[in-house]
Structure 1
Amino acid sequence: MDLAGMTVVDAHIHQWDPLTTPREFSGLAKLLRYVPVPMDLAKRLAPRRDREFVGDPTPFVYPYLPRDYRADAGDVPVEAIAHIEAEWIGTGPLGPADETRWVASLPFGVDTPALGAVLGAADPTAPEFAELLDAHRAASPLFRGIRTRVEYHPDSQVRATRKTPGLLTSPAFLDGFGALADRGLVFEAWVYSGQLPEVSALAERYPETTIVLNHLGTPAGIFGPVGRDTGQHPGQRRELFVRWCDDLTALAQHANVVSKVSGLMMPILGHPVPRRGEPTPVPVLLERISPMLEHALDVFGADRLIWGSNFPVDKPITSIPNAADAVATALAGHGADDKAIEQVFRRNAERIYRIDVL
């Protein structure tokens, strides 16, 4: 579907420079800079869970800055973006606010899309959580909320931050979350699909706080095998899809939850990784993602879905134009008209993140 004539907000991108800013993957980036191992060899030497998550490590070992995003966006008419925290490991309890300050200093809005919002890193279980929220707000007036690394998967070979489930519903998390709610900030929930009931419980506890489900809940292995025992055969993938549908339906009953139709080209979903520089074509993407998008549209409606490219994380699988085309075409094929498409690709992000640069 052609998005020409429509201005777009890309509500989920990452900016980083692992060579000059402290990221979890900075060590690898610096190593490969000084020890020029061929990228394909570096990929083969990486642990399986990392290989399956990133697909191709190339985007993670080079800076990804506004000019790089502009080039990747191609002819998609992106006017503004929302930056989502990207594994910053600055020191001290207020260190994550330095990422917000750094992003705000980047050359957005010159010959690149404008910076519309920043969603920083913070952990509600930390003693200094409230102080960190205020530090983020002081770092940029575009700070709109946080994302916390809470992802857990029962398959130990699927890459995840947490080793045990239940953080989102733990007393420490729920108690600390009040500081976010008091400040009217947004919570970005990136979880694997088995954690969707936890997101529902959080939404019920804090019904006045906007919760943005990232990547439709990331059902790892829904398109192909990953990990030790995830998505290994069609029957297992069908079972995963049915459970995801049920849990997403339950989550959508909470009016304070919106969902991003983003990250649908993450390698961890089980996409085959194409040859570098040959993005998966739109018809192939449509065949895979259409059932997910149709269900999301049914349960959330067009006024509670937000598009994001998740670049450069999704870059090993496809391009931004192909990803945007596939999402828009799938939604249109399920009855979304031009007004609904504009809601998903612009209006909802403007409302949720209070973006007024367009």
Structure 2
Amino acid sequence: MADDPLLGHGRQIIVREDWLELTEEPILEPGLPIVDPHHHLWQRAQGSYLLPELLADTSSGHDIRATIFVQCGEMYRAGGPQAEQSLGETEFVTGVAAVSASGRHGKTRACAGIIGMVDLMLGDKVDPLLEAHEAIAGGRFCGVRNRTAWHRSPEVTSNLVSPPPGPLEHPAFHDGARRLARHGLPLDVWAYHTQLPHVIALARAVPELTVVVDHVGGPLGIGPFLGKHAEVFPEWKRRIAELAALPNTVVKLGGLTMYVTGFDFHRRPKPPGSEELAKTWQPYVETCIEAFGVGRCMFESNFPVDKGMCSYPVLWNALKRLASGASAAEKTALFSGTAMRVYKLDRLPEALAVDL
């Protein structure tokens, strides 16, 4: 898979709209309200994903009431102190959110929440940086994520900029996490399954912090793990159980059609349907829900990263199939309630409020 011609910059699968259109399905449970708690926006040569592209997806049939943007290193300030350059991303997304909040582009509150980048290794600088992001976002700033996904194999990467080893296990990072908790903000963590012991140690060291584990804890399926899903799964499952035993942890259910997972739907003549996706994802999603409970789980799209393998309507159909046996209250938690609570979207100013 290392020479996969469908891989673009940052080893992310190239989105092919014409290919995605080959698989279309009726929308399941179209009246079920959804808050999509994890997507990105970017402008790149291989394909941009900005407000028009996001809204084209969110308006494709499912009832997407709001979305949450997650940092991806986009539109940083070109100058000024390095630690402040990520303020440009929050400025950019706040502008996008304001356009959406005008109501002129449909009912979806795009970027109702903004998860930004503040380097938690910066000690005393963390607090004023958090305050600056909060001031820019006008009530939308709802969390932080740092670049943390790392593996020693050069074949294993999912970032446009490969971070150095760490910083999850570094004492300075734990100190920054405590500062984040004092601001009442959660920490999103994108880590591979091999790094979950560091995530567990962080959650134990800072029990006052809500740790949101992205993409079901990153089970790897490329590089040294290529073709080894059956071997990786038991190890991943044990660590998920350890994480779930800590009450300050939450997990996002998605990200399973990223390149790093090792699934190869993108190499087929036709995209997968929701039944096949649900069958593939079921062991991971059910393990997480059984371990964490619905009150600490939230479904996510991780678009446009996951869009390389499936369309937005099919993705949410697959997640709805996985939740088909849940009660109405459990579905509310999985599709909107947990995200609303963890990211405090219910505390947005009235003018920005998400209508559920």
Q: With structure 2 as the length reference, what TM-score do the two structures score?
A: 0.81
Number of residue equivalences: 306
Shift of 1:276: 9.1
1:3 paired to 2:29: yes
Tell me how far 1:279 sits from its aligned partner.
2.9
**2:206 is the counterpart of 1:209:** no
1:279·1:317 contact (CA, 8 Å) conserved in 2?
yes
Deviation track 1:194-216 (CA, whole Å, cap 9, x = no partner) reads 11111111111111211111001
Q: Give the AA of the match of 2:50.
A: L
AA aligned opposite 1:102: F
Equivalent pair of 1:191/1:218 in contact (CA under 8 Å): yes
Q: Aligned to 1:307, which of 281, 292, 299?
A: 299
Q: Closer, same or farther in 2 for the Cα pair 1:294/1:168, shift >3 Å? A: same
- Identity among equivalent positions (%) equals 31
For 1:325 and 1:197, locate their aligned partners in 2 and report how far apart those are by CA, in whole Å. Answer: 33
* Kept in 2: contact 1:98–1:139 (CA 8 A): no
- Residues 181 and 62 from structure 1, CA distance in 2 versus in 1: closer, same or farther, beyond 3 angstroms? same
Q: Compared with structure 1, are the counterparts of its residues 278 and 72 closer, same or farther at alpha carbon in structure 2 (3 Å cutoff)?
A: farther
1:120 is matched with which residue: 108, 116, 120? 116
Match of 2:7 in 1: none
Give the alignment partner of residue 85 of structure 1, picking from 53, 56, 71: 71
Per the TM alignment, residue 267 of structure 1 is displaced from its structure 2 partner at its CA by 2.0
Q: Which residue of 1 aligns with 2:329?
A: 339
Distance in 2 (CA, whole Å) between partners of 1:279 and 1:12 is 22
Equivalents in 1 of 2:317, 2:42: separation in Å? 26
Q: Is the 8 A contact 2:225 2:232 kept in 1?
A: no
Counterpart for residue 62 of structure 1: 47
Shift of 1:273: 4.1
CA distance in 2: counterparts of 1:218 and 1:272, whole angstroms: 16
- 8 A contact 1:293–1:327 mirrored in 2: no
Q: Which residue of 1 aligns with 2:94?
A: 104
Amino acid paired to 1:146: V
Deviation at 1:122, TM superposition (A): 1.6
Q: Equivalents in 2 of 1:331, 1:238: separation in Å?
A: 24
Which residue of 2 is the match for residue 38 of structure 1? none
For 2:197, the aligned partner's letter is P
Matched, 1:137 2:134: yes
Name segments (4+ residues, structure 1) moved above 4 Å.
275-278
Alignment of 1:127-206 (within 5 A): 127=123, 128-140=125-137, 141-159=139-157, 161-164=162-165, 166-206=166-206
Offset of residue 83 of structure 1: 0.3
What code does the residue aligned with 2:40 have?
H
- 1:305 Cα deviation after fit: 0.5
Give the alignment's Cα RMSD to 1 decimal: 1.9
CA contact (8 A) 1:279 1:316 kept: no
Matched, 1:231 2:232: no
Q: Counterpart of 2:116 in structure 1: which amino acid? A: G
Checking the alignment, whether the CA contact within 8 Å between 1:278 and 1:318 is kept in structure 2 is no
Counterpart Cα distance in 1 of 2:37 and 2:257: 15
- After superposition, residues 243-254 of structure 1 pair within 5 angstroms as 243-254=235-246
Aligned residue for 1:108, secondary structure, equals helix
How far apart are residue 314 of structure 1 and its match? Answer: 0.6
- Structure 1 gaps of 5+ residues are 19-28, 30-60
Q: 1:277-296 maps to which residues of 2 (within 5 A)?
A: 278-296=270-288
1:172 aligned counterpart, secondary structure: helix
Please tell me the residue identity of whatever aligns with 1:86. Answer: C
In structure 1, how many angstroms separate the alpha carbons of the residues matched to 2:269 and 2:298?
A: 27
Residue 3 of structure 1 aligns with an amino acid whose one-letter code is E
Deviations 1:288-307 (A, max 9, x none): 11111111111011111111
User: Aligned-pair distance for 1:250?
Assistant: 0.4
Query: CA–CA distance in 2 between the matches of 1:340 and 1:116?
Result: 23
**1:137 is matched by which residue type in structure 2?**
E
Deviations 1:38-88 (A, max 9, x none): xxxxxxxxxxxxxxxxxxxxxxx3331222112123101101000001123
C-alpha spacing 1:276/1:133, structure 2 compared with 1 (3 Å): farther
Residue deviations 1:76-125, cap 9 Å, x none? 11010000011234342211112111101112132242132000012111
Q: Which residue of 2 aligns with 1:269?
A: 261
TM norm structure 1: 0.81
Residues 286-339 of structure 1, C-alpha deviations (whole Å, 9 max, x = no match): 22111111111110111111111011111110011111111221233xx42232
Task: State the distance in 2 between where 1:277 and 1:350 align.
Answer: 38
Q: For the residues of structure 1 that align with 2:322 and 2:271, how far apart are their CA atoms?
A: 18
1:13 match: 39
Distance 1:272 1:298, change over 3 A: same
- CA shift, 1:277, in A, is 9.5
